[in-house]
Amino acid sequence: MSLQSESRDLASVATDQLLYAEDLAVGDWMKLGTVEVSRDEIIEFARRFDPLPIHLDAANSPFGDVIASGMHTMALFSSIASPSFISRLALVAGKGAERLQFPRPVRPDTVLTGSVEIIEIRMRDRRADVHCRYEMVDPDGEVVMTMVGVQVVRRRQATS
């Protein structure tokens, strides 16, 4: 993630301040924290939602071990993004995800670190589409998930 020197760390904004579209700027960023995923969690998630051999059986995985499914990786990301960033927005709804990629597998017993950077804000009369680049990296700094998420965020005052 490229952070510009003039950009703002949203963690520096008071946590009790709801962030409306006007409070956000392109380049604003935030570290979202970490989440660890265990082998048992990978297998349990896979049994329920994505029962493929690469997620269930190390002997049948070309990765040498089980790996987390893409949906599990997204859920892990949500577990850190929702409480630290999304819940701070004057959110109407999530609008979508673009350019979702999983360039490296998520392996058991890995601590993942998430971050967000605002890359575009499209103001409308009562709300804005806020485009964010989301990233999650492993302990070596290798990207395991990246996407552009679009959130619909209320404006402080509607324009005519």
Strand ranges across the sheet with 29-37:
29-37, 110-123, 127-137, 143-154, 91-101
pLDDT at 48 > cutoff 80:
yes
Chain-wide mean pLDDT for the chain? 94
pTM greater than the 0.85 cutoff: yes
Give the pLDDT of residue 6. 65
- Confidence band (pLDDT; 50, 70, 90) for 15? confident
- Name which of 154, 41, 40, 26 is nearest 88 in CA terms: 154
Residue type for position 54: I
Give the pLDDT of residue 3. 38
- Confidence band (pLDDT; 50, 70, 90) for 1? very low
Give the pLDDT of residue 72. 98
pLDDT at 71 > cutoff 70:
yes
Give the pLDDT of residue 160. 60
Sign, CA torsion 2/77/98/13:
negative
